[in-house]
């Protein structure tokens, strides 16, 4: 039996509406869970089945993932770099490559053994939105490749290299969008790309006055400025 599990909290409803609509279309049962009530979800598990977490915002306890043959998570970076929820550090660091990782779930966030990774290039005009879009476009094929590997009795997942771990669990604040006047154009562009133009746009101070900095390309409409 297949189930779709989503967070019960109303604040996650906007991010789960697409998957719930798809579940209803295919008559798949939807189960809502909170951090204090996992027991009824545990009853749905089966030793020969697979748990797949895709941008699920809650930590899944061993009570749940330990009951499955495989418990897998899709993470939108190349682990072990950039564990956590946020992709802005990819842009701030000026990385020219990122990707998606399928890994086994364990007791810590994003620390399980790696099953498979797919990579994509990061362009000079990529933003968080375009990185997420690129990652989401690769998720289906990533899962299929990963499942094929797990069915191979000779395959072993790869432990994450502890020396390469970086973690980002803290949300950026408006102050993180400050661009000093001494920054180079490329340094400023990285901050602009990592900033949210609505909630915390990039800015600098000139004679004590706050000046907003935006990325605009003349051949792109304003609503496609995160498109490569």
Which residue do the tokens 């697409």 mark?
A: 18
Q: What CA–CA distance (Å, rounded) separates 55 from 31?
A: 16
Q: What CA–CA distance (Å, rounded) separates 191 from 213?
A: 10
pLDDT string in tens for the chain (228-residue length): 688 888 888 888 888 888 888 889 888 888 888 878 887 777 777 778 889 999 888 889 998 899 889 999 999 999 999 999 899 999 999 999 999 999 999 999 999 999 999 999 999 899 999 999 999 999 999 999 999 999 999 999 999 999 999 999 998 899 999 999 999 999 999 999 999 888 899 999 999 999 999 988 777 765 555 555
Tell me the domains of the chain and their CATH numbers. Answer: 1-44 (no CATH), 46-168 (3.40.50.170), 174-224 (no CATH)
Q: What CA–CA distance (Å, rounded) separates 168 from 101?
A: 16
In 3D, which of 13, 50, 46 has the Cα closest to residue 30?
13
CA angle 190, 127, 103 (to 5 degrees): 110
Q: Is the pTM of this model over 0.75?
A: yes
Structure confidence at residue 1 (pLDDT): 60
Q: What CA–CA distance (Å, rounded) separates 35 from 60?
A: 9
């Amino acid at each position: 039996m297949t189930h779709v599990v989503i967070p019960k909290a109303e604040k996650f409803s906007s991010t789960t509406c697409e998957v719930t609509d798809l579940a209803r279309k295919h008559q798949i049962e939807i189960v809502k869970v909170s951090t204090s009530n996992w027991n009824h979800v545990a009853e749905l598990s089966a030793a020969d089945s697979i748990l797949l977490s895709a941008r699920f915002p809650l930590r899944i306890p061993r009570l749940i993932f330990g009951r499955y043959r495989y418990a897998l998570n899709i993470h939108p970076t190349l682990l072990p770099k950039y564990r956590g929820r946020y992709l802005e550090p990819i842009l701030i660091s000026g990385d020219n490559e990122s990707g998606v990782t399928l890994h086994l779930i364990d007791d810590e966030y994003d620390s399980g053994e790696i099953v498979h990774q797919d990579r994509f290039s990061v362009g000079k005009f990529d933003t968080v939105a375009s990185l997420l879009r690129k990652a989401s476009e690769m998720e289906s094929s990533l899962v299929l490749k990963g499942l094929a590997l797990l069915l191979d009795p000779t395959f072993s997942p790869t432990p994450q290299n502890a020396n390469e771990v970086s973690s980002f669990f803290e949300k950026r604040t408006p102050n993180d969008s400050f661009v000093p006047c001494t920054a180079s154009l490329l340094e400023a562009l990285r901050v602009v790309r990592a900033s949210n133009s609505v909630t915390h746009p990039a800015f600098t101070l000139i004679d004590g006055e706050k000046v907003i900095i935006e990325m605009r390309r003349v051949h792109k409409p304003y609503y496609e400025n995160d498109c490569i």
